[in-house]
Structure 1
């Protein structure tokens, strides 16, 4: 049996038949299993976030009388003022300093290292790159005692610099790996054109590599910022005074201070995660794209 071509052709755009066929085509493309998994993931992530924000807007009496997931009957910002008046600002400032310094240090070191790896050659350079990548396989917990001894010998114990240096050191291998894949995507013709114009290594790095590697730099910056912001091990081991506490250590101390005041504790946690959400919302596409750059080749 022969089917006429007009019977199988798609209806013209803008017609009623095309508008009726559009939902049917979307329904055929829908994946029920993927939709169910996405819905389950939304519940897993959304319920804790709802609990975090809703409880932070409730009074202690409302939290104790009503259910934990009930909406606040009379929202209040009293818990936020209580937390901000209890030393939370110092923790936030210390964390901001540690995060900004870690990001700056990693970017300054990772970009020249990646450029040397991509454009250089020789067994010593390859051995150095392999040794650097070995840092990806070594967890910080395994070498925390040597790190503690080094920091104390450098007289950096109980200082923000003592947190920044090991944090940047353990995040540097991933940063170099991401930037290496980014620089390998730069066409060879551009390097040759710069060489014909008499550009040296420093000029090529400044005029060519730096502008074209901005997506990778943004990716590395977000990756380092999130990890430095949430760091707990190095502040726990390498600091002891209250003036040097970061947010993670501050939340740990607030957990004991506000044991019976759960809404105040949730307000502190909400304030601590807001910058992380900002990092994610600003650069989520660049973060995923930068981490997967070059792996499809």
Structure 2
């Protein structure tokens, strides 16, 4: 009896499942395909490409083709008449004004935010901490809630209907986020580098110029893109603080394609395409620094 039991035990051990071979180092485990993620990516791609197709295709249509054909149909004949009408309306003037506002707001924010972020990171003063908290309070104040006081201040300063009237509040409302981004970027700089500069006898200005500026490039690019986009797409401040055609920026200039008899949709789409090209170029130029600046301080 014991012999039969031992034989059965040996047969069961022999029929046991073979052990899996050990995985070679450096090889990756192949998992199941994520069909849900693929479907989600396809839906997202359609949601992005359809408006872009409508935008570009409509700008290449004639007025008659747009009225007779469907909005998503392929243009029968490609024409650039809509782009010509956009320049005739005054697109170059609107583009120039938007560039002036964007560059002015970016320069003003960087001049204020960079030294402020450096002081917040390196100073232990209570005044600096209180100032940082006041800047953070600016994140909770929407521009729509204080547009009337801003209008009164601009008129008292005799800046109404000027590009300066748009630059100042745009820079003010993008300053809190800019300081937060630059502060996180400067905190990634090792303290040993600051101590080495101090041992070499460098002043605060020399440390800021030789150490902080080169190492905060990703944060500077992030702030530049953020402020530039806000200034480029801003509609409220130009609407309330400007009036004449000479100070009109792109968001307000698009109104020129709408009359009491209708809207020149192909011309409007052409102006939108032209106004999006500088923003696209800015993003393509600084996308790596933008991601690096947004991720700054995550590991802290």
Matched, 1:3 2:18: yes
| TM-superposed deviation, 1:120 | 0.6
1:232-247 aligned at under 5 Å gives the runs: 232-247=235-250
| TM-superposed deviation, 1:207 | 0.4
Matched, 1:292 2:291: no
Give a deviation string over 1:22-47, Cα, whole Å, max 9, x none: 9x93xx35322222222212111211
1:288–1:168 Cα change, 3 Å = same
Matched, 1:264 2:267: yes
Paired residue secondary structure (1:263) = helix
Between the aligned partners of 1:258 and 1:107, the Cα distance in structure 2 is 45
**Bigger Rg, which one:** 2
Matched, 1:32 2:35: yes
Give a deviation string over 1:255-287, Cα, whole Å, max 9, x none: 337834321111111111122222222223322
Check conservation: 2:108, 2:171, Cα contact below 8 A.
yes
| TM-superposed deviation, 1:2 | 5.6
Match of 2:132 among 123, 129, 132: 129
1:240–1:12 Cα change, 3 Å = closer
Alignment-derived partner of residue 156 in structure 1: 159
| TM-superposed deviation, 1:151 | 0.7
Check conservation: 2:83, 2:270, Cα contact below 8 A.
yes
| TM-superposed deviation, 1:12 | 10
Unmatched runs of 5 consecutive residues or more in structure 2: 1-15
Give a deviation string over 1:183-234, Cα, whole Å, max 9, x none: 0000000000000000000000000001000111011001111111000010
Alignment-derived partner of residue 145 in structure 1: 148
1:196–1:11 Cα change, 3 Å = closer
Give a deviation string over 1:37-80, Cα, whole Å, max 9, x none: 22212111211111000010011111112111011121111110
Unmatched runs of 5 consecutive residues or more in structure 1: 14-21
| TM-superposed deviation, 1:9 | 3.9
Q: CA RMSD in A?
A: 2.0
Between the aligned partners of 2:38 and 2:296, the Cα distance in structure 1 is 27
Match of 2:257 among 254, 257, 268: 254
In the superposition, the TM-score normalised over structure 1's length comes to: 0.90
Check conservation: 2:257, 2:264, Cα contact below 8 A.
no
1:30–1:285 Cα change, 3 Å = farther
Q: How many residues align?
A: 285
Paired residue secondary structure (2:258) = helix
Between the aligned partners of 2:62 and 2:182, the Cα distance in structure 1 is 48
With 161-170 and 37-46 compared, the bigger mean Cα shift is at 37-46
Matched, 1:110 2:125: no
1:65-214 aligned at under 5 Å gives the runs: 65-214=68-217
| TM-superposed deviation, 1:235 | 0.2
Alignment-derived partner of residue 59 in structure 2: 56
